[in-house]
Amino acid sequence: MGLVTIPFIIFVIITFFVYYCLGLHNQWQVLLVASLIYYSLSNRWEFVIFLLILISLNYFMGLLIQNSDNTKKRKLFLFISIGVNASILATLKFFNFLKTDIKTMSSMTSAAISNPALPLGLSYLIFKAISYNADVY
């Protein structure tokens, strides 16, 4: 779904209507669902699953950080969260380099490794997740 199409404009109007009809407590849920619907309509459904996993992982890491009574545990959970997020970002961003190295090391000549298309705004989402967990700490 493109940004300058009639279906997108209808989608935005419906989203704004639902957003403002609900109370302040539920507006973030409307934006979350609308974002996932937009991603599912614009991209592959695997992106939606990936984003749900990423969001859930960071939410639960934030809960672990918040509910830890020990400062060392909180710091450990923060570093685990940063490490996992940075690893995901590095793996997806540098996949082409890894693909070339894997082909070279394993001498795969006939097997093709495809280039994955990345979800739009993945770097932003991961950096926001890292800052969320740092703020919870």
pLDDT in tens, the chain (137 residues): 676 788 888 888 999 999 988 877 888 888 888 888 887 877 677 778 888 888 899 999 999 999 988 889 999 999 999 999 998 888 877 776 666 666 666 665 555 555 555 666 778 888 888 898 898 88
Q: At 76, list the tokens.
A: 């450990």
Task: Give yes or no: residues 55 and 28 share one domain.
Answer: no
Which range of residues forms the domain containing residue 38?
1-42
Give yes or no: residues 80 and 17 share one domain: no
* 107 and 48 in a common domain: yes
Question: Do 112 and 82 touch, CB atoms closer than 8 A?
Answer: no
Question: What is the reported pTM?
Answer: 0.69
Which amino acid is it at 67?
A: N
Count of the separate structural domains present in the chain: 2
| In a shared domain, residues 124 and 90 | yes
> Among candidates 38, 130, 16, which has minimal Cα distance to 84?
130
